[in-house]
Structure 1
Amino acid sequence: MLRSRLLADIRNDLPALHWHDAELGQAHIRLVVASLAILYIIVLYYCGGLDRSSLERILVCYIGVMFAAIWLWRHVKRHPGIRHWRRLLAMSFDYGALTYSMFLAGEQLLALHGVILWITVGNGLRFGRGYLLLATTLALGSLALVVPFTPFLLRHPAVPLALLITTVIVPGYIYYLLEQLQRALRETEAAQRAKARFLAQASHDLRQPIHALGLFTTCLRNANLGAAERQLVDNVDRSLESLEGLFRSLLDIYTLDQEQMRPQVRPLDLDALLADVVQQNAATASRAGVEIRLRPSHLQVNSDPALLTTVVQNLLSNAFKYAAGKPVLLGVRRVGALRSLVLYDQGRGIAPEHLPHLGEEFYRVREDRDRDIEGVGLGLNIVQRIATLLGLRLVIRSRRGRGTLVALEGLVPVAGELPSRQAPSPPASAQPLSGLRILLIEDEASVLLATATLLRHWGCEVQTASGIPEGFTPCDLVITDFDLDRTASGADCLAYLRDLQGQHVPAIVISGHDVAQVQRAIDDPQVPILSKPVRPHELRALLRSFKLESTTPAAPV
């Protein structure tokens, strides 16, 4: 029974420990303890506590232990991970050496029992309850071997009794605490999984109405409204934009807390990325009275385009709030061999006492008689954490009444020519979407209605379906939600249409889930993924690119 419990506890070691660090730490301590033990024995000899014969035998033992400790340390460095045989071998060296030296020196080395107790507790705290039970058993065995051959202990039975009680009670209490800690860890992990499931579902369910509202307000904006009605639509659109920004910030913070963001670093055209972000924020900048001045860098850098876009988006959002009515400069500086992405505004500036706290969660710069500014203080915290992920350094400098400079230092330039960039898109009037046949697949009725209405307003010919269509539907492009119902997904829908038509089907997938997860499920780099809530201008720009590709004549062979 005890053996099965011991093995079960060893298999269920504390998951919170970093095994390589724990075993390496134990190897470091073993080297230190062995060195101190040798020093203690030599001092004891010169103080008359040991004879020369005992000294020589104990020194030989501990020199052997020192070589074994060095070998174990090197083995842990070269072969990290859990090696049960290695731990058992190390424990055998530890208890064997201590027992042998106490056996030879008697009561003169009883102080080493404290080291035995320390090693026992250390094995339990580093490797879990199973190893604590095993170490306690070895400590009791050591005591059982030493007591019968130590006259001092036989003459004073209270001393071995105290040693026995200490050897049992201290590890026993540690075992109880570890059991409580492991139970708390299991409960915490279960709560984290439940929270993750709730947030994932809530994220998807909240994205749907925000997505539909954005599409409906765009439809209203394009209708023949009077000045008062158009002002109402502008107010709704502005409130929706604030809600969308807050929603994205909360999702970014949650994703960062769960350590789900993994940078996908690749060479990217920095000018193209910044131009896209500026275009996406043109309407918001206009409402805030901010002119975004983009200085071209003609530079490629190694970075993650999605994460870098999120950073610039958050920096611009802060500039719109705190530097409304002033121009914003966005550009790149040379810092040695590296580059620094810089945003400079001419707002009111930030007082020096606020600067050290700007990267903290929910920290907002508030002044006396300050107007209420939208947001909860997550933007710069997100920027700081993403910068750390990308290996960049966030620098903020500000002067009251002069403005604020925010820089991301450490961008690595890529040598070589930039890829050829497409010519700028012609205005909407010169590039209509009329005649573009779209098959729209969406199981949410309100989203289906809003999307179809907007697409028809843009001149597209739209056929709708709430699931996988039953037969062949002629179209130029498929727009499908990823989550259709419990029986199918957007990936299943595209696979079915491709099998039905016997060729690749141009498509756009819209999803409320993690984009990387959807990309793995679709497994087609030619299919763009749009994350809900989708901004109408993003969808329209993507549709224009499909329209251009479908109408561009093939090059002569």
Structure 2
Amino acid sequence: MKKPSEQGAATFEDLIGLGSQSARKSYYPELERKVHELEQERNRYKWLFENALHGIFRAEMTGGVLAANPAIASLCGYASPAEVIEQVRDLSTQLFVDPGEFAAIRQMLLTSERLTGYETRLRCRDGGTVDVAMNILLKRVDGGEIIEAFVADYTERKRARERLQQLNAELEQRVAERTEELLELNEQLRLARDAAEAANKSKDKYLAAASHDLLQPMNAARLLVSTLRERALAGQDGYLIERVHMALEGAEELLTDLLDISRLDQNAVRPDVAEFSLQSILEPLAAELQPVAASEGLQLKLQQSSLSIRSDSRLLTRILRNFLSNALRYTDQGRVLLGVRNRDDRVSIQVWDTGDGIADSKLEDIFREFHQLPDHHAGERRGVGLGLAIVDRIARVLEHRIEVSSRLGKGSMFAIEVPRARGPVSFAAPAQLSPPIDTLAGTRVLVVDNDENVLLSMCALLEQWGCELSVARDCEAALALCQAEAPGVEPQLLLADYHLDWGRTGLEVVQALRRHYGEGFPAAMITADRSADTLRLFREQGLPVLPKPVRPGKLRALLTHLLQGG
């Protein structure tokens, strides 16, 4: 029995309803089940604690380790968790490497009660260190500060991160070095480009100078031979002069082709694209080659066209002249047709012949340098096989498509396709410039050229036509001569070579004389320089041009045209 003093006091059993024996008996099964579940849960946590891959420990904030699992013992180099508990009696000096850092950790925990993913270094049993990442919880128990920590070995991750940082640094260094190399290479490329451009300009100048220097003696020879051809020569003299004339034509054609192919290979030819009437180049071409066709017993037909196109008239004319020349050369009998076909926004300009034709296997070869087909002019002068090679290069410069078709024994068709003009372009038929031979009688002509042989040849031809000649070798001499002439006997027109000595040009002579006589003073340029820039310069100045070697027929026609105020 309870003492009287205890009768009023409630026991623990009374509080949970087990105050009587019968009540205790009725709750035993339930208690046993709960105790069993608690035991299982404790064992499960114990198993997780002891077998966790990450280290776990419980410690007093200002003391040592209270509990540790095998993972933390292994991580820090201890033989067992008991050894950790036994030896780590002060966290700040025996577990954490830096006591100052542990003080900072404590301060952070007092503020937020937890740290997540905190990276630090723990001291190992042998004095070494290990890099770890920790999640730490702060708990206050009976007025004390207890921490529970979950520790992951961060060594490999740190090494990987450091390696990644090192790789990034190396990559940045390599990128910087490569960038520097590229900048240096770009600078070298720029210098190489500048050198190449300078070389191209030098080659352009060389080609212009070569054209001038090579064609100067040929120009003088052609003028002298033309002068002799117009005279009545006795015996074999006329025949011999004709053969010299043919030889000069062959040499001129060869030299012109070689210079053209060189300029095209050096990218020294730049197209001067404009819109113009197709008929404006077809009619002069047909008129130029009609005598050649007649001498071969062939018909040269021209199909009239009202179309306008967009191209470089000079380069396109060169292509068509080569087509026509080849057609006349390789056609025995029949005719050659210069025709046009409209193809929507493009125009196909075609040259048809009735020659022997070309085998399909040879169609690609004919555009190679120095490739020739046998022609029917046995024993006569033949080209060297550059005509179609020049055509191919010019077409690529113009971005025009070439078309070829042929049938053996039937003939061939060569065509070039050009874009149509965006709008209509008017065309005025050229005036007939074939004056009688005495039209130039008494015409006062000033000729300026730095080559003595050219001056003598030009004088011989023009005086034979009845002209009165004045000659000079530079701008100053020409201007002094004009200033010294009495009124009424001054020159009526000027023929000036473009390239003179010491870098001077015939353009300076034209400008000086026009300042002296007035802007309308008739003048023409004679040059071997066929570059697009030079020809554009002449057009801007409104100056007609005669290419070297000068053809007497074109020279006479030009002089008459200038006298008529053209």
Q: TM-score, normalised by structure 1?
A: 0.63
> 1:536 & 1:123 partners in 2: Cα distance?
63
Q: Give 1:432-447 correspondences, 5 Å limit.
A: 432-447=439-454
1:448 to 436, 449, 455: 455
SS at match of 1:404: strand
- Matched with 1:542 is 558
How far is 1:200 from its partner?
3.6
Matched, 1:241 2:249: yes
Higher helix share: 1
**Cα offset for 1:479?**
0.7
Q: Identity of aligned pairs, percent? A: 32
1:341 is paired with a residue of what secondary structure?
strand
> Given the superposition, is the C-alpha separation of residues 331 and 112 from structure 1 closer, same or farther in structure 2, using an over 3 Å criterion?
farther
RMSD, matched Cα? 3.8
Correspondence 1:329-368 to 2 at 5 A: 329-365=337-373
Which of residues 237, 252, 258 is equivalent to 1:250?
258
Per-residue CA deviation, residues 247-292 of structure 1 (Å, 9 max, x unaligned), is 1212221221222222222222222312222333345444444432
- Residue number among 471, 479, 497 corresponding to 2:513 in the alignment: 497
Instruction: Indicate if the aligned counterparts of 2:272 and 2:532 stay in contact, CA closer than 8 A.
Output: no
SS of alignment partner, residue 319 of structure 2: helix
Distance, in Å, in 2 between the alignment partners of 1:360 and 1:119 is 47
CA distance in 2, matches of 1:295, 1:431: 35
Match status 1:328 vs 2:336? yes
- Cα 1:373–1:479 change in 2 (3 A) is closer
Question: Structure 1 pair 214/282, CA: closer, same or farther in 2 (3 Å)?
Answer: farther
**1:276 correspondence with 2:278:** no
Q: Which residue number in structure 2 is paired with residue 264 of structure 1?
A: 272
Task: Name the CA shift for 1:210/1:108 in 2 (closer, same or farther; >3 Å).
Answer: same
Residue 159 of structure 1 corresponds to none
Residues 322 and 388 in structure 2, CA contact (< 8 A), matched pair in contact too: yes
8 A contact 2:309–2:418 mirrored in 1: no
Deviation at 1:321, TM superposition (A): 2.8
Partner Cα distance (2:432, 2:518) in 1: 34
Deviation at 1:398, TM superposition (A): 0.8
Instruction: Report the Cα offset of residue 446 of structure 1.
Output: 1.2
Match of 2:301 in 1: 293
**Is the aligned partner of 1:477 residue 2:493?**
yes
Distance 1:103 1:386 in 2: 66
1:399: how far off? 0.9
Query: Which deviations, in whole Å up to 9, do the C-alpha atoms of 1:121-144 show, x marking residues without a partner?
Result: 97577554489xxxxxxxxxxxxx
The one-letter code matched in structure 1 to 2:525 is: V
Q: Is the 8 A contact 1:321 1:373 kept in 2?
A: no
Q: Deviations over 1:352-383 (max 9, x none)?
A: 1111233233333369xx97872222211221
Aligned match of 1:318 in 312, 318, 326?
326
The answer to whether structure 1 residue 428 and structure 2 residue 435 are counterparts is: yes
1:300 Cα shift? 2.1
2:285 is paired with a residue of what secondary structure?
helix
**Counterpart residue identity of residue 364, structure 1:** Q
Are positions 1:220 and 2:236 aligned together? Answer: no
- Aligned counterparts of 2:324 and 2:193: Cα–Cα separation in 1: 40
- Give the Cα separation in 1 of the matches to 2:410 and 2:159: 78
Residue identity in the other structure for 2:372? R
Gaps of 5+ in 2: 1-116, 118-156
Distance across 2 between alignment mates of 1:372 and 1:120: 69
Q: Assess, with a 3 A threshold, how the Cα gap between structure 1 residues 262 and 500 changes in structure 2: closer, same or farther.
A: same
Q: Does 1:205 align with 2:213?
A: yes
Aligned-partner residue type, residue 275 of structure 2: P
Residue by residue over 1:459-497, the C-alpha shift from the partner in whole angstroms, topping out at 9 and shown as x without a partner, is 323222233321434122111112232274212212222
Would you say the 8 A contact 1:102–1:109 is kept in 2?
Answer: no
1:457 equivalenced with 2:459 (yes/no)? no
1: CA distance between counterparts of 2:565 and 2:516? 23
Give the match's secondary structure for 1:428: coil
Q: Distance in 2 between matches of 1:515 and 1:186?
A: 21
> Is the 2:218–2:248 contact (alpha carbons within 8 Å) kept by the matching residues of 1?
yes
Change (3 A) 1:120 1:318: farther
1:43 maps to none
How far 1:540 sits from its partner (Å)?
Answer: 1.7
CA apart distance, 1:189? 7.9
2:14 maps to: none
Count of paired positions: 402
Determine if contact 2:538/2:544 at 8 Å carries over to the other structure.
Answer: no
For the residue of structure 1 that corresponds to 2:463, the secondary structure is helix
CA distance in structure 2 between the aligned counterparts of 1:102 and 1:430, rounded to whole angstroms: 103
How has the CA–CA distance of structure 1 residues 122 and 408 changed in structure 2, closer, same or farther, with 3 Å as cutoff?
farther
Give the partner amino acid of 1:214.
R
Deviation at 1:102, TM superposition (A): 11
Is 2:386 aligned against 1:378?
A: yes
**SS of 1:451's equivalent?**
helix
Amino acid at match of 1:505: F
Cα pair 1:102 1:112 within 8 Å, conserved:
no
Cα distance in structure 1, aligned partners of 2:186 and 2:398: 40
Q: Specify the code of the residue in structure 1 equivalent to 2:408.
A: R
Bigger fraction of residues in strand: 2
Q: Is the 8 A contact 1:332 1:342 kept in 2?
A: yes
The equivalent residue for 2:523 is 507
Match of 1:533 in 2: 549
Unaligned 5+ segments in structure 1 are 1-52, 54-100, 132-178, 551-557
CA distance, structure 1, for counterparts of residue 254 and residue 343 of structure 2:
34
Structure 2 residue aligned with 1:155: none
SS at match of 1:480: strand
Matches within 5 A, 1:186-197: none
What TM-score comes out, normalization by structure 2 length?
Answer: 0.62
Q: Are 1:416 and 2:432 an aligned pair?
A: no
**Greater Rg over alpha carbons, structure:** 2
SS class of match (1:348): coil
Amino acid at match of 2:228: L
Q: Equivalents in 2 of 1:342, 1:273: separation in Å?
A: 13
2:317 partner amino acid: T
Once residues 210 and 409 of structure 1 are traced to their aligned partners in structure 2, the CA distance between those partners, rounded to angstroms, is: 35
**Aligned partner letter, 1:532:** K
Tell me the distance in 1 between the aligned counterparts of 2:505 and 2:367. Answer: 39
Alpha-carbon distance in 2 for matches of 1:524, 1:130: 38
TM alignment of 1:77-88, pairs within 5 A: none
Alpha-carbon distance in 2 for matches of 1:545, 1:186: 45
